[in-house]
């Protein structure tokens, strides 16, 4: 079922995720969120995917976290622990976990040996197979960014 | 032959063109200029009709074309001009022209002569089109045109409430008949496959369809004719139509509108004959004649007495057609048009000069308007059927034909109605022109020359027509056998003379007083019964109010409110009730929506995996 | 290999992260926490892509790149919305703003 390092990482991931949701201070929740993202980057490194891990670190642990911190800075830190409909959420999430795990064990997923892909292969496949897709995606991304800009710079309506 | 076709179309078209021109010229230049356009148009139309009449040979003028086409469905239109049509057109255009000339004097105080002449020319044009057209659809178009113009002209003084109501009444009542006529046209078109008069008559002569079907079509079309020609029971509009200008009444009663029904029956005479519908025509005519003659005897307004007499004479024409003597009917139509135009125009002169419509408030007018009085007398003599005026010849022919037909009810009613003409005619004349002058009469002057000239023309015609009786009847119907009974003629004249004597004693010598009779409850009741036209108007109102409005319309309204609206509103109420319960799900809280979403995803996954 | 583990273990990690994310999404009232939860769900999916990619071919990894890019973008737009939200309503609790209902 795997070695002890995996379960340590598992514990850190889930623990930091729960802390990110449950922490009273929003700032400490953001810090915990950074820990979660870094641990997932560690999982990618462990799977011999250094490029993906680097991108995860750069974009998630770097960019998104900075954005979150700026947002927290702009709206002000909150220490109030917001109450919620916890029971319904716990039931649904546990249901998801049980169903997912149960079926992942039930269905015959092959346990193949892990391969190692070189960066050259990654680049070749990317350029040969997905370059056109990247261009289309680029336009979509540009449009989304433009819309985000438009939303932010929109003047508040006069009351 | 080709030339006559174009002249026929030109004759129809010139009136519509002239009407618009008269309106525009009256609108944008001096208003009375429209009179000259109208008179010119009327004269041109009359001359063109005369040209057609003179050049009409043995064969009628026929032209056909398709009005429009829907796939295989074709609507034909065309003209068919034979001697009957051309005589009707001569009456319409000739009397219409004289009427237009007379109107110059009668309508001198009017504000909008261009509107008046526009409607008038349109009226005459519709009538000319009606008689020239060759099938029922075309006839129906012009028939409605005539109805429209009668509405407009009766309501010419639209600011008077009574005139507006009379116009509406005329429109609705004639339209009531027209609905049945339209149904008859549709039935004929669908079941017989043709609407051409000649083809329908040919089918009837060949016996190509069952008598019952023919009877149905004939009765439906005859109801339209009843409405247009003001027969029992659809006649009250004719009396109310007296609210319009008197010249309009003259045009409606003499030249155009009411003749249309008689013309229609005469045009489809073989069809009616084959269908055994003529007996119905005869009975309706006889009853109408009796009602009208007795009503005229009791009424006091000049114009309404004349209106009752119009109804009676139209009924006599229907009787003539009903007993199978179309020649007598059409000949009487022609004579009636002439003397009734004379009477109405003379009455118009009287009313214009005295501003009083009630005959019993006038009196002694002979001293003030001698020429009008004499012309009126000529009209009365022709109306009463006194020889040698033209009314005598046709009316006596009708009485003879009815006697020869042998039905005692029709003959009795017709005879009484026919001889009563002299009674109410001379009653009117004596009351208006003799006796002590009233204050209205004292201000009267002789009518203008432009009003007298048409009267003289018509008066001369009443005397001249009998000399050409043989030629006219031959031109219309070829060889016709006229039944002649000397003893009947003697009896008729005797009864007429006795009636004249009675009226002379009551209204001229005034030795017999009607006051005692009217004071008695029974006499008063009879007088009011006759005065109100046998209460047919009230009966129609009662039926409309209590049967149509009170029960049928109320029932339909109930169904509409409670069933139709109930179903529509019920659907809305049901969906609203469902919605009121369902909308509670929508809290507006994003997290609730997310919960539904996740639960839905789980359900879908389970469904995909297990099902 | 550093993290020698069965594929089922990785899937269990992924599902656990998903469950925590869903729990956070449904129970938290703050928009920022909800964004955290959304990022967790996306990371769970990403982890799945990476695991199966490691066993088979390189395509899954490339898709993981795209996902990371789009997730970052989504986070940027979401935080922009958060700021506009705050400017407009003075708080970041969506449950109190119930404009979109009957």
How close, in Å, is residue B609 to chain A by CA atoms?
A: 9
Asked if C98's CB is within 8 angstroms of B588's CB, the reply is yes
Interface test with B, best of A92, A98, A101 (most B CBs within 10 A): A92
Q: Which residues of chain A have pLDDT under 50?
A: 158-159
Report the phi/psi class of residue B385: left, alpha or beta, with left for phi > 0 and alpha for psi in -120 to 50. Answer: left
Nearest CB neighbour to B598, from listed A84, A85, A92: A92
Asked if B606's CB is within 8 angstroms of A92's CB, the reply is no
How close, in Å, is residue A88 to chain B by CA atoms?
A: 8
How close, in Å, is residue A102 to chain C by CA atoms?
A: 10
Interface test with A, best of C21, C65, C95, C96 (most A CBs within 10 A): C65
Q: Would you tell me which residues 566-595 of chain B have a C-beta closer than 8 angstroms to some C-beta of chain A?
A: 591, 595
How close, in Å, is residue A27 to chain B by CA atoms?
A: 23
Report the phi/psi class of residue B510: left, alpha or beta, with left for phi > 0 and alpha for psi in -120 to 50. Answer: left
- Closest to B228 measured CA to CA, from B238, B243, B219, B220: B238
> Is residue C100 less than 8 Å (CB to CB) from chain B?
yes
Query: For C4, which residue in chain A has the nearest alpha carbon?
Result: A2
Asked if A88's CB is within 8 angstroms of B602's CB, the reply is no
At residue A75, the pLDDT reads 79
Give the whole-angstrom CA distance, residue B315 versus residue B333.
10
> Is residue C78 less than 8 Å (CB to CB) from chain B?
no
* DSSP bridge partners of B66: B76
* DSSP bridge partners of B196: B135
Cis peptide before A90 (omega within 30 of 0): no
Structure tokens at A24: 């009273």
Q: At what angle do helices B211-228 and B259-267 cross, to 10 degrees?
A: 160
Neighbours of chain A (3+ CB pairs under 8 A): B, C
How close, in Å, is residue A61 to chain B by CA atoms?
A: 27
H or E segment at B400?
A: helix B390-405
H or E segment at B73?
A: strand B73-81
Asked if A141's CB is within 8 angstroms of C69's CB, the reply is yes
Q: What letters, b where the CB count within 10 A reaches 16 and e where it falls short, cover A58-68?
A: ebbbeebbebb
Could you report the per-residue pLDDT of B249-280, keeping only the tens digit for each? 888 888 788 888 899 999 999 999 898 888 99
The yes or no reply on domain A4-82 and CATH 3.40.50.720 is no
Q: Return the percent helix, strand and coil in chain A, to nearest 5.
A: 75, 0, 25
Q: Report residue B79: phi and psi, to 5°.
A: -120, 150
Q: Please state the separation of Cα B545 from the chain's center in Å.
A: 25
Report the phi/psi class of residue B534: left, alpha or beta, with left for phi > 0 and alpha for psi in -120 to 50. Answer: left
> Is residue C19 less than 8 Å (CB to CB) from chain B?
no
For residue A151, which residues of chain C lie inside 8 Å, CB to CB? 77, 80-81, 84
At residue B118, the pLDDT reads 92
Give the whole-angstrom CA distance, residue A56 versus residue A50.
10
Give the whole-angstrom CA distance, residue B358 versus residue B438.
12
Nearest CB neighbour to C102, from listed B583, B589, B590: B583
For residue B598, which residues of chain C lie inside 8 Å, CB to CB? 22, 25-26
At residue A159, the pLDDT reads 45
In DSSP notation, B113-140 reads HHHHHHHHHHHHHHHHHHHHB-BHHHHH
Q: Which residues of chain B have pLDDT under 50?
A: none
Give the rounded percent of residues in chain C with a pLDDT score beyond 90.
13
Measured CA distances, A85 to A93, B249, B338, B396, C41 (Å): 13, 90, 102, 109, 19
At residue B93, the pLDDT reads 92
> Is the C-alpha dihedral spanning B590, B593, B597, B603 positive or negative?
positive
At residue C77, the pLDDT reads 83
Asked if B595's CB is within 8 angstroms of C98's CB, the reply is no
Neighbours of chain C (3+ CB pairs under 8 A): A, B
B360's CB contacts (< 8 A; 6+ apart) are: B300, B431
> Is residue A153 less than 8 Å (CB to CB) from chain C?
no
Give the whole-angstrom CA distance, residue C25 versus residue C45.
15
Asked if C98's CB is within 8 angstroms of B589's CB, the reply is yes
Asked if A55's CB is within 8 angstroms of C65's CB, the reply is yes
Interface test with C, best of B582, B583, B589, B597 (most C CBs within 10 A): B589
H or E segment at B301?
A: none
Structure tokens at B430: 């004596």
- Mean pLDDT, chain C, rounded, equals 83
H or E segment at B261?
A: helix B259-267
Q: Return the percent helix, strand and coil in chain B, to nearest 5.
A: 80, 5, 15
Q: What is the pTM of this model?
A: 0.68
> Is residue B490 less than 8 Å (CB to CB) from chain A?
no
In chain C, count of helices (H) and strands (E)?
3, 0
Query: For A63, which residue in chain C has the nearest alpha carbon?
Result: C72
Give the whole-angstrom CA distance, residue C41 versus residue C14.
9
Convert B526-572 into a string of H (helix), E (strand) and C (coil).
HHHHHHCCCCHHHHHHHHHHHHHHHHHHHHHHHHHHHHHHHHHHHHH
> Is residue B585 less than 8 Å (CB to CB) from chain C?
no
Asked if C102's CB is within 8 angstroms of B591's CB, the reply is no
At residue B41, the pLDDT reads 92
> Is the C-alpha dihedral spanning B589, B595, B598, B602 positive or negative?
negative
């Amino acid at each position: 079922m795997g070695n002890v390092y995996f379960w340590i990482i598992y514990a850190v991931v889930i623990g930091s995720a729960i802390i990110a949701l449950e922490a009273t201070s929003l700032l400490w929740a953001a810090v915990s969120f950074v820990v979660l993202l870094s641990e997932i980057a560690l999982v990618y490194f462990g799977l011999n995917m250094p490029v993906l891990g680097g991108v995860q670190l750069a974009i998630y642990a770097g960019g998104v976290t900075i954005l979150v911190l700026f947002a927290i800075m702009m709206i002000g830190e909150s220490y109030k622990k917001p109450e919620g409909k916890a029971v319904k959420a716990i039931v649904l999430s546990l249901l998801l976990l049980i169903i997912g795990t149960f079926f992942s064990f039930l269905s015959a997923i092959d346990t193949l040996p892990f391969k190692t892909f070189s960066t050259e292969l990654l680049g070749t496949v990317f350029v040969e197979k997905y370059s056109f897709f990247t261009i289309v995606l680029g336009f979509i991304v540009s449009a989304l960014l433009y819309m985000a800009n438009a939303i932010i710079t929109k003047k508040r309506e006069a009351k | 032959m080709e030339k006559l076709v174009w002249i026929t179309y030109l004759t129809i078209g010139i009136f519509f063109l002239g009407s618009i021109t008269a309106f525009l010229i009256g609108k944008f230049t001096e208003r009375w200029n429209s009179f000259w356009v109208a008179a010119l148009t009327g004269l041109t139309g009359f001359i063109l009709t005369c040209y057609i009449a003179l050049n009409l040979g043995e064969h009628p003028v026929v032209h056909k074309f398709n009005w429009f086409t829907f796939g295989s469905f074709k609507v034909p239109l065309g003209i068919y001009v034979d001697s009957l049509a051309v005589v009707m057109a001569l009456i319409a255009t000739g009397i219409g022209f004289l009427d237009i000339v007379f109107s110059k004097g009668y309508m001198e105080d009017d504000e909008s002569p261009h509107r008046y002449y526009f409607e008038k020319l349109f009226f005459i044009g519709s009538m000319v089109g009606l008689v020239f057209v060759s099938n029922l659809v075309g006839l129906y178009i012009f028939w409605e045109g005539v109805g429209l113009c009668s509405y407009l002209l009766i309501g010419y003084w639209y600011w008077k409430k009574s005139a507006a109501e009379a116009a509406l009444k005329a429109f609705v009542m004639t339209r009531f008949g027209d609905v049945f006529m339209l149904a008859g046209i549709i039935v004929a078109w669908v079941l017989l496959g043709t609407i051409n008069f000649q083809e329908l008559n040919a089918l009837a002569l060949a016996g190509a369809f069952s008598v019952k079907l023919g009877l149905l079509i004939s009765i439906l079309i005859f109801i339209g004719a009843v409405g247009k020609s003001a027969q029992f029971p659809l006649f009250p509009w004719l009396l109310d139509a007296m609210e319009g200008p008197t010249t309009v009444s003259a045009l409606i009663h003499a030249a155009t509108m009411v003749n249309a029904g008689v013309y229609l029956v005469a045009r489809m005479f073989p069809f009616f004959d084959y269908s055994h519908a003529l007996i119905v025509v005869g009975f309706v005519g006889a009853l109408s004649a009796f009602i009208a003659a007795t009503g005229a005897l009791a009424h006091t307004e000049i114009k309404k007495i004349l209106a009752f007499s119009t109804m009676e004479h139209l009924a006599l024409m229907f009787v003539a057609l009903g007993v199978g003597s179309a020649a007598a009917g059409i000949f009487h139509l022609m004579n009636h048009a002439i003397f009734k135009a004379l009477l109405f125009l003379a009455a118009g002169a009287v009313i214009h000069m005295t501003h009083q419509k009630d005959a019993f408030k006038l009196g002694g007018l002979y001293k003030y308007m001698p020429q009008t009085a004499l012309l009126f007398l000529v009209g009365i003599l022709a109306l009463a059927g006194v020889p040698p005026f033209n009314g005598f010849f046709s009316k006596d022919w009708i009485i003879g034909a009815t006697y020869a037909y042998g039905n005692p009810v029709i003959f009795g009613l017709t005879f009484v109605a026919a001889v009563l003409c002299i009674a109410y005619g001379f009653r009117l004349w004596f009351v208006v022109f003799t006796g002590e002058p009233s204050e209205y009469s004292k201000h009267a002057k002789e009518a203008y020359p432009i009003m007298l000239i048409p009267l003289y023309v018509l008066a001369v015609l009443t005397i001249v027509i009998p000399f050409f009786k043989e030629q006219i009847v031959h031109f219309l119907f070829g060889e016709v056998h006229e039944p002649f009974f000397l003893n009947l003629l003697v009896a008729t004249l005797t009864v007429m003379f006795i009636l004249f004597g009675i009226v002379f004693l009551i209204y001229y010598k005034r030795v017999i007083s009607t006051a005692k009779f009217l004071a008695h409850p029974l006499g008063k009741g009879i007088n009011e019964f006759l005065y109100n036209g046998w209460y047919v108007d009230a009966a129609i109102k009662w039926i409309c109010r209590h049967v149509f409005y009170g029960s049928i319309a109320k029932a339909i309204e109930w169904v509409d409110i409670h069933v139709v609206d109930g179903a529509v509103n019920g659907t809305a109420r049901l969906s609203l009730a469902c919605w009121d319960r369902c909308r509670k799900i929508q809290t507006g809280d994003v997290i609730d929506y997310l919960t539904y979403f996740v639960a839905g995803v789980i359900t879908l996954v389970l469904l995909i995996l297990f099902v | 290999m550093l993290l020698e583990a069965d594929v089922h273990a990785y899937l269990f990690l992924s599902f656990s992260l998903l469950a925590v994310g869903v729990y956070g999404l449904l129970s938290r009232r703050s928009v920022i926490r909800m964004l955290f939860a959304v990022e967790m769900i996306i990371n769970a999916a990403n982890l799945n892509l990476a695991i199966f990619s490691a066993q088979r071919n390189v395509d899954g990894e490339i898709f993981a790149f795209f996902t990371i890019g789009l997730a970052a973008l989504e986070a940027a737009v979401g935080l922009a919305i958060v700021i506009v939200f705050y400017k407009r309503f003075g708080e970041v609790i969506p449950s109190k703003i119930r404009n979109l209902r009957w």
